[in-house]
Structure 1
C-alpha cells in the first residue's frame, strides 16, 4: 500500500487509562496513511447493539477503505462467526486487516493464527458470560432482583421490588380481571392501545419503545409470578454467547423466593388465570390458511392482511390487532381477488397467444415468399431453357 491509501481505525474505550489515540495515530503516521473514518463502539456485545461495527461492515461492502486497523482481533469480534464474516468480506473486497498486537496482518500475509485467535476470544467471551450469570445467580439467591428493569407495576430500590404509586398496578389488576371475565389477550391489548395506556416499554423508558400493546405482552403479564409477591429468577437464559436466542429453564433449576415483596395479584387469582390459559390454549385450533395468506399487505399502513371467515375476505392485520386507532376497517373479498387475478391471467394468456399467432403468420408468410420465389426462379429457368432449345432448332 502506497501513501494516501484510505485507512480505517477502530477505537474501543474499554480502558480509560490507556491512550488508544496515541497508539493509532503514531502507527498511521509511520505508515504515511490517511484516515478514512473512526468507527467507535463503547458498548460491546452483539452486532445489533454495535452500530459503528454495523456501519463499518456496510462501508466495507462498498469498498470505501483499504485497511481495517484494530488493537486486537477481539476489538472487532469476540465470536468466531462474526470474525469469519469480517475476514471473508475483507478477502472478497480486497481489504486488509491489521491488529496492533501483531497477531493479524494480511498485508504481510500473517493470517495463519486468525482461526486460533477467533476461537480464543470466543472462549473468553463465553467464560465472561458464565461469570456474569453466576454472579446474578448468587445475587438472586440472596433474594435480590437481578434485572435492571423491574416488572410492569413495580419499581426497583436496593435490589427489592416495590409497588409503583401510579396507574400501572391498576392496569395489571385490570388485565387479570378482564381475562377472567372471558376477554381474549388480543382484545385486552386492543382496548389498552385505543385508550392510550402507555406500554411497559414506554413506562420503562426503553429506546424506540412502541405505543401498541401486543398479545405477547398481555401473556407475559398474566404468567409473571412476581405479581403474587414471589421472586422467581432464572426462568430463561441465552443459548450461548454467540446465540442470543433465549430458552426456558426447567422449574427445578429456577431460583424461587416466596413472599419477598408486596403482591399486586392474589395467589388464588393468579392460579385461576394459569388454569384458564391452559384451558383456552388447548381449545384454539391452528389458524386456517387461505390462498392469499402472507401475500396481501395493507395499502395504507403496509401491515399484512388477515383472513376473516365471517367476512369472507381479508382485513388489515394492524386494524384487527389494534383497532381503528391503528388503521381503517377496509376489506378485500377473497372472491373478488380470485376473479381479478383470473381475468388478468386470461388477458395475459390472450396477449401471449396473439403474439404467438402473429409470429406463426410471419413464419408462414416468410415460408410462402421463399416457396414463391423458388417457383418463379424455376419457371424463369424453364422458359430460358426452352427458348434456347427453340433457337437452336
Structure 2
C-alpha cells in the first residue's frame, strides 16, 4: 500500500522580490504547487497553504512558516512543497538545516518544483541543494548591499531617512525626506536649551515640563492619549542633537549582517554630518554654550561606589554572580537612595537569561550585617588560646577538608547546569526559536562559562592534593583582624571566605575556605 502524503503548500513573497516579474507572485506559486500535486497522483493531497506575504527569507521568523512547523510536529502534514528553494529560505544555513536534518529526522518529504528537488526520490539534483541554497544566500547579500548603498547615498545628500521626525520638526507633506519646523514643539526645544544655559539641571527641566503639562515626545504611539512623562535621558539627547542646528547626522549605527537584525552603535565622534539640510531651531552660539556646560557637568563625576563583597556573592539558585545596583536620589546628587544585590541572570531576562530569583534583590546593608555578625560570633567563640589549640589539633586530624569538598560540589552543579543550558540552547536553535547569530553568541557565552568552571574545578582538585590548613599563628592573626574589624573589609573577608550564596528567599550562606571555621 502506497504512503499517503498530506501536503503543505508553502508560499512566500518578500519586499526583496517585489520588483520581480509576476512569476514570483503568490498566485503563481500556488498554481505551480497545485499542478505538481496533480502530477504526483492520488497519494498526494493538499492539507493547507501556508502563505507569508511580505516576509524576508533570511530568517524563519515568519508566522505561517512557524505554523507549518507546528503542524509538522503534531503530524498534520508529512510533505512540504515550494515553488523553489528560495521560497523556503534564502539563508543557506537554515535551508540546509531544515532540508537535510530537520525534515529528514521527522520523515518529512520536501519538494522544490522548479529546482527539481525531491527528498523522497534519488536524483542528482538533491546533491545540488547546498550549492543552490548558497546561490540564494548570495542573491540576498547582493540585494542587501545595493539597498544599503542606495540609502547611504540619500543620507549623504542630506535626505532625512528615519521614520519619525525629531521633536521640534515634522516631515514635509510633499517630500517625506525633508524636515520642516513644528512651531509649538520648536518653542519647547528653545525653552529647554535656554533653561539649561541658565543653569537649570536636567531634573529641574523635566520636573517643570511635567508641571506645565507639556506633551512629551512620541505621543503618536499612545492611542490618542496625551502623555506628559518627560525623562532626563530624552532631554539629555535633545541637548546634544545637531539636528536643531539645521544639520542631519547619519551613520549612527550599522547592521552586523544582512542575516541579522542586530546593530552596532558607532561612537558619536565617528558620525557623519550633512550640513544645512533644513531650518535651524537653535543658533550656533547657544548650542555651543550648552555643549560647554554639558562637558563641565560631565567632568564632575560621581565617585564610584566600592562594593566590599564584589566577586564573592553568588546566586544559590542558578550559580551566577550577583551584582550591586546603587540608586541615587537624583541624577545630580551623591546621596544614595538604595543599594541592592541582584542575580545577574535574574535581571537580564531580556537577553535570554533566566533565574527564579528574577529581580528580587536584597539590601547590601543586610548582607554586610549578616556576614559581619557571623564573623564576630565565630571569633567570640575562639578567642581563648586553648580553644585555638584544640581547633588546630582537630583540623590536622581531618583527612580532607569538607570546605573544599563543598566548593567542588558547588562547581560540579554549576558545570552540569551549563551543559544542560547548551542542550536547551541547541534544541531552541533547531526548533527555530533562535537565529544563527543569537545561537553563536549565546553558545559562546555559555561555553566560556563552562571552561571557566572546569578550570576552577582543576584548581580545587589540586588544592585537595595539598589540603589547605591554618597554623596556630595564622589563625591567631585572622582572629585578631576580625576582632578589630569595624564593618566589612574585603581584604579580610576574601582571605577566609570562598564565596557567599543567596537563595530565592534571600537566605545567606557562607562557604569558608578553611574547614576549621566550620568546626566552631
Could you say whether these structures have the same fold, taking a TM-score greater than 0.5 normalized by the shorter chain as the test? yes
Give 1:69's aligned residue. 81
Match among 44, 55, 62 for residue 56 of structure 2: 44
Contact 1:41-1:53 within 8 A present in 2 as well: no
Within 5 Å, give how 1:212-227 maps onto structure 2: 217-227=234-244
Which aligned pairs between 1:300-339 and structure 2 lie closer than 5 A? 306-308=325-327, 310-311=336-337, 313-314=339-340, 333-334=363-364
Shift of 1:241: 0.8
Alignment check: 8 A CA contact 1:47 1:53 kept = no
**Equivalent of 1:162, from 174, 180, 205?**
180
Counterpart of 1:94 in structure 2 is 107
1:24 equivalent in structure 2 = 33
2:492 alignment partner in structure 1? none
> Measured at CA, do residues 141 and 314 of structure 1 come closer, stay the same or move farther in structure 2, by a change above 3 Å?
closer
Q: Distance in 1 between matches of 2:83 and 2:50?
A: 13
Q: Which residue of 2 aligns with 1:367?
A: none
> Could you tell me how far 1:161 is from its partner in structure 2?
0.6
Match of 2:118 in 1: 105
**Displacement, 1:101?**
1.7
| RMSD over aligned Cα atoms | 4.9
- Partner residue, 1:127: 142
CA shift, 1:140, in A, is 3.0
Structure 2: how far apart are the matches of 1:65 and 1:228? 60
Q: Tell me which structure has the larger Cα radius of gyration.
A: 1
TM-score normalised by structure 1 residue count: 0.62
Matching of residues 250-265 of structure 1 within 5 Å: 255-265=272-282
Change (3 A) 1:220 1:33: farther
Shift of 1:230: 0.7
Quickly say closer, same or farther: Cα 1:35–1:276, change in 2 above 3 A: farther
Relative to structure 1, the CA distance from residue 243 to residue 270 in structure 2 (aligned partners, 3 Å threshold; closer, same or farther) is: farther
Aligned length: 325
Task: Tell whether the 8 Å contact from 2:110 to 2:119 is kept in structure 1 after alignment.
Answer: yes
1:355 matched residue in structure 2: none
Q: Which blocks of at least 5 consecutive residues in structure 1 are unaligned?
A: 296-303, 319-329, 348-393
**Kept in 1: contact 2:95–2:133 (CA 8 A):** yes
Is the 8 Å Cα contact of residues 180 and 279 (structure 2) preserved in structure 1?
yes
Residue 104 of structure 1 deviates from its aligned partner by 3.7
What pairs with 1:1-393 in structure 2 (closer than 5 Å)?
Answer: 2-12=3-13, 14=18, 17=22, 18=25, 19-31=28-40, 32-44=44-56, 47=59, 50-57=62-69, 59-60=71-72, 64-87=76-99, 88-102=101-115, 104-108=117-121, 110-157=125-172, 158=175, 159-166=177-184, 168-173=185-190, 175-176=192-193, 181=199, 183-184=201-202, 200-203=217-220, 217-248=234-265, 255-278=272-295, 280=297, 283-284=301-302, 306-308=325-327, 310-311=336-337, 313-314=339-340, 333-334=363-364
Unaligned runs of 5+ in 2: 316-322, 329-335, 348-359, 371-501, 510-520
Task: Report the CA distance shift for 1:134/1:312 in structure 2 as closer, same or farther (over 3 A).
Answer: closer
Q: Distance in 1 between matches of 2:75 and 2:213?
A: 47
Give the direction of change, closer, same or farther, for the CA distance of 1:90–1:76 in structure 2 (3 Å limit): same
**Bigger mean CA deviation after superposition, 151-160 or 97-106:** 97-106
Contact 1:238–1:245 (8 Å) recurs in 2: yes
